[in-house]
Amino acid sequence: MSTKHKKMLCRILASALIFGIATVLDGTQIIKNEYLYIILLFAAYFTVGWDILWRAVINIFHGKIFDENFLMSIATVGAIFIGEYSEAVFVMIFYQVGELFQSIAVGKSRRSIASLMQLRPDSAVVERSGSTVTVDPSQVNVGEIIVVRPGEKIPLDGVIVQGSSYINTVALTGESMPSDAKEGDDVLSGCINMSALIHVKVTKSFGESTVSKILELVENSTANKAKSENFITRFARVYTPVVVICALLLAVIPPLFLGVADAQVWRSWVYRAMSFLVVSCPCALVISVPMTFFSGIGGMSKRGILVKGSNYIETLSKCDTAVLDKTGTLTTGQIVVTKVYCENGYKTDDIIQLANICESASTHPIAAAIRNYAASADNTRAQTIEELAGYGVHAVVDGTDVYVGNAKLMDKIGVSYKACTDVGSLVYIARANEYMGCIVLSDVIKSDSKRAIDSLKECGIHRIVMLTGDNDAVASNVAAQLGIDEYYSQLLPSDKVTKTETLIQNKTGGSLAFVGDGINDAPVLARADIGIAMGGLGSDAAIEAADVVLMDDNPLKIALAVKSARRIVSIVKQNIIFVLAVKLTILVLVALGAAGMWAAVFADVGVAVLAILNAMRAIRIRQKL
């Protein structure tokens, strides 16, 4: 509780104490004079409500007449005018109690967002001129080496050039298990170095770093309002003047017909009108609806799901079609050796070592994958290495001809080989015109991709489509393993946009979400109803074009994002229905004289507190991966 909250609580308690004393002593020998009782009630009223009256006056001069301060002021002043002093004090006390609860709840929601701001690093230790200096992260240039000690935040994105450590990424991804990072591994700003000193070569300026992007996304998320928020804003502008006019008519019209000269009749209908005003205060909706979206965005951010605005939460909640890119989204995006077939008595190590020596000078991704798979290679064994364009590599190793390449190379040199039927990139190897075997390389499916697809189906995504630029055999194999019934292969970036537009035109009612990570996915992310980018390894262009960013590239979080969005929108609808139902019911009862100021207080303060407490549930993202 802040100092402001404590001061407000003291005012409420002081007013309640004065009110209680006046109520207890009313009619006793201690207070014989009725004016002393009224003075105590006025003291209680102004102690708790002076700021409401003052804000109402100030807002009138600024053209903001029909707000909750005006409604509460006119209702309580009207109650005093007709002699209902105790009810005026009671209404003001409980209104301020409700405002205090609201302020505390909003503060808690904002603190959950503000906790993300702690990601922002205060300084960076950079190596310059043979020594280390501490500077602001924005003053570090790309290519410079920064030193990160154990327990410190990594201030800028970069690659480890010296040392190894465990990195805590929970602030970015929501993943509590630290990850192992060694030389050559990328590290992201905002993460915490856990165990050892590391030297990091900066790859992005501070303005382009991951932590800056996150803070920018979160800070700007409230700028894009959902339809529900816009509706409530427009509703309040029309609703409040209407109810003030209705209250005025309620106070004036019936007495003109029921007894224009009867003071008691006027008093009864004015009392109903004042109660009507108390009920009509729209603050429960005006506060709880935006707060639900705000809390939801904060809760999703803590789980590594960044949403750029509450309007995207509404769109995501309606998702019934998911279109996913294959490479980098459902697969790792990295070609690796998945299988080695050996023939004619050769062993796996024989094949890998020879292939590694032959591919040592190549920059092709397949060559790099073979080198990464092999532990080491004695390149001195190769006398010559010759690249055969379109076929592979010919090398002389230990004085013997070795051929590494595709099936066309085997046909060209006249080697009898066993054709491999595995899906992927196939590398055949022959030595001295003798076939040794085949190396299979492919893009590996992420360990969580199958569960991710199953989770999407479980949460009601009835159509899941995979798009890829790979050939049909690869696409068919991945789709079969993941349980995806619909896929399209050999697509150029422009083809993906065209296919997505076709899917959007053919969808039935719901929204279409596209999930991708590469720069070639940016046009589709922008075209889809809702674009979801893999933010951990995804390109900057994809992250910029997307509406939702998954910070750790985990496909399971696609379903989590959809479920969370639906829960947030459900809470918004609950609050709207609950608030309007209670208020309309009490408004009718008040107009008919079946309910008074006490019921009006519940319909205003009580309903507002309940709606806000319900809104705060949005910050808790309970679904587990």
Residue 407 in any domain: the answer is yes
Supply φ then ψ for residue 228, to 5 degrees.
-65, -40
Contact 329, 416 (CB under 8 A): no
Residue 550's pLDDT is 84
In a domain, 470, yes or no: yes
106 and 227 assigned to the same domain: yes
Judge if 158 and 89 occupy the same domain.
no
- Asked if 277 and 379 sit in the same domain, the reply is no
| Rounded-to-integer distance, Cα 488 and Cα 359, Å | 33
Count Cβ neighbours within 10 Å for each residue of 380-397 and write b for 16 or more, e otherwise. ebbeebebbeebbbbbeb
pLDDT band at 173 (very low <50, low <70, confident <90, very high): low
CA 143, 146, 150, 152 dihedral sign is: negative
Distance in angstroms (rounded) separating the CA atoms of residues 581 and 610: 14
Phi, psi of 431 (to 5 degrees): -130, 125
CA–CA dist 58, 51 (Å, integer) = 10
User: Same structural domain for residues 172 and 31?
Assistant: no
| Token output for 486 | 């619909």
Same domain, 422 and 436: yes
pLDDT at 597: 72
Give the pLDDT mean for 550-570: 89
Q: Which amino acid is at 409?
A: L
24 membership: H or E segment, kind and range: helix 3-25
- Do residues 460 and 483 touch, judged by C-beta distance below 8 A? no
d(CA 276, CA 600): 7
441-450 average pLDDT score: 88
pLDDT in tens, 117-169: 455 677 889 998 888 899 988 889 999 999 998 888 888 889 999 998 888 77
Q: Does 154 lie in the same domain as 82?
A: no
The three-class DSSP label of residue 188 is: coil
Q: What pairs with residue 148 in β-bridges?
A: 198
The parent domain of residue 514 ranges over 310-330+446-546
Same-domain pairing of 397 and 259? no
- Would you state the pLDDT for residue 144? 93
Q: How far apart are CA 408 and CA 492, in angstroms?
A: 26
Residue 552 lies in a domain: no
Which residues have C-beta within 8 Å of that of residue 331, sequence separation ≥ 6? 443, 444, 445, 446, 449, 478
CA dihedral sign, ordered 538, 529, 287, 296: negative
Residue 301, in any domain of the structure: no
The pLDDT of residue 538 is 53
CB atoms within 10 A of CB 300: 26
Dump pLDDT digits (tens) for 321-347. Answer: 999 988 888 888 778 898 999 998 899
Per-residue pLDDT band for 401 (boundaries 50, 70, 90) equals very high
Does the pLDDT value for residue 494 go beyond 80?
A: no
394 and 419 housed in the same domain: yes
Lowest mean pLDDT among 152-161, 247-256, 597-606, 611-620: 597-606
In a shared domain, residues 484 and 434? no
Q: Which of 444, 478, 511 is where one domain is finished?
A: 444
Question: What is d(CA 556, CA 252) in angstroms, rounded to the nearest whole number?
Answer: 62
Whether 431 and 341 share a structural domain: yes
- Whether the per-residue pLDDT at 316 is higher than 60: the answer is yes
Are 318 and 279 within one domain?
no
pLDDT at 66 over 70: no
Question: CA–CA separation, 390 vs 392, rounded Å?
Answer: 6
Residue 323: the pLDDT is 93
**Euclidean distance between CA atoms 152 and 133, whole angstroms:** 15
**Could you tell me if residue 409 is inside a domain?**
yes
- 586 in Cβ contact with 595 (< 8 Å): yes
Which is nearest to 443 in space by CA: 415, 464, 423, 467?
423
Contact criterion met (CB below 8 Å) for 18 and 42:
no
pLDDT of residue 27 exceeding 80, the answer is: no
Which of 303-312, 512-521, 531-540, 573-582 is the most confident on average? 573-582
Q: Is residue 14 part of a domain?
A: yes
Catalytic choice (67, 157, 325, 529):
325
Mean pLDDT along residues 301-305: 80
Q: What's the mean pLDDT when you consider all of the chain?
A: 81
> Given this model, what pLDDT does residue 570 score?
92
Looking at residue 553, its pLDDT comes to: 78
DSSP assignment string, 468-500: -SS-HHHHHHHHHHHT--EEE-S--HHHHHHHH
Kindly write down the DSSP assignment for every residue of 24-59, as one continuous string.
HHBTSSSB--HHHHHHHHHHHHHHHHHHHHHHHHHH
**Beta strand 463-467 pairing with 486-488:** parallel
User: Which CATH number covers residue 352?
Assistant: 3.40.1110.10
325 as an active site residue: the answer is yes
Mean pLDDT of the region 430-451: 90
Total structural domains within the chain? 4
Q: Which helix (H) or strand (E) holds 306?
A: strand 305-307
Kindly state whether residue 471 falls inside one of the protein's structural domains: yes
Q: Is residue 557 part of a domain?
A: no
Per-residue pLDDT of 503-550, as tens digits, reads 988 887 889 999 987 666 778 888 888 988 887 655 566 667 788 888
